[in-house]
Structure formats: structure tokens, C-alpha cells
Amino acid sequence: MDIIFLGGLEIETIIGIYDWERTTKQTVVLDIEMAFDIAKAAETDDIEYTLDYKKVSKRIIAFVEDSQFLLVEKLIVEIANLLLTEFAIPWLKITLNKKGAIRGASDVGIVIERGQK
């Protein structure tokens, strides 16, 4: 299966378990790989036959900016569910990086895979 990817997508949101995190937006950075058969789009040169990564990114940004979850676990699974149901993606891998959440570490977060390739 082919992969359409979106890397380094930075979004500001309310995320975290501590009091200050409930009122101060923080940045999460998403890297997303989405399986998709690009054969028909390559053959026809028509956007209708592929996964429009612009539409995907706009939907993710709107969802994450409006969300107010406590845990990164909850946020990343909700993003995966949204993509799997709304865009008919058979498989995806998401990396969510909550940069700066841990003093002394440049990166911290979660990687999940969902669906079948």
C-alpha cells in the first residue's frame, strides 16, 4: 500500500493534567502516515481519486484546536478515530510530540498504529 504523509504539523491546544495546563495552550506536533492506494489518482491526475492532504490537515487542525483533553493518549486516539471514519483510510500511524513537556527532554509523546495495511 502507498503512504501519504503529513509531517511536523504544529497545533496549539489545551492538553494536560495540571491546573496551569487547563488554561494555557501548548503546542503538539503531529507526524501522520496514512495508507492509501494512489494508483487511480496517478493514472487520471485527478484529486477526486486520492486522499486530499489539505482537507485532512484542515480537519485535524480544527479538531485539535477545539479539543481540551487531559492526556495525550486520549487526544491521539480521537485523532486516529476521526481519520479512520471520515476519510476511509485503511491504516495509519500517528506520532504525537508534546515538546517541552519534560524538562531536560526535547521530545515526549506517543506513537500509535491503527487499521490494516
Ligand X SMILES: Nc1nc2c(c(=O)[nH]1)N=C([C@H](O)[C@@H](O)CO)CN2
Among 4, 11, 13, 16, binds ligand X (CB under 6 A): 16
Cβ 107 to ligand X shortest distance, Å: 12
Q: Which residues pair with 7 in a beta bridge?
A: none
Q: Which three cell numbers stand for residue 66?
A: 477545539
Q: Considering beta carbons, is residue 52 or 73 the nearer one to ligand X? A: 73
DSSP state at residue 88: -
- Residue 101, interface with ligand X (CB under 6 A)? yes
**Does 86 contact ligand X by CB under 6 A?**
no
Binding mask 35-64 for ligand X (x = CB under 6 A): ------------------------------
Q: Looking at 1-9, 17-25, 27-35, 36-44, which segment touches ligand X (CB under 6 A)? A: 17-25
Q: Could you tell me which residues come within 8 angstroms of residue 77 by beta carbon, excluding any fewer than 6 positions away?
A: 112
Looking at the Cβ atoms of 22 and 55, the one nearer to ligand X is: 22
Spatial distance between the Cα atoms of 16 and 67, rounded to a whole number of angstroms: 11
Cβ proximity of 116 and 56 under 8 Å: no
Angle at 60 between CA 58 and CA 66, to 5 degrees: 100
Q: Which residues bind ligand X (CB under 6 A)?
A: 16-18, 21, 71-73, 98, 101
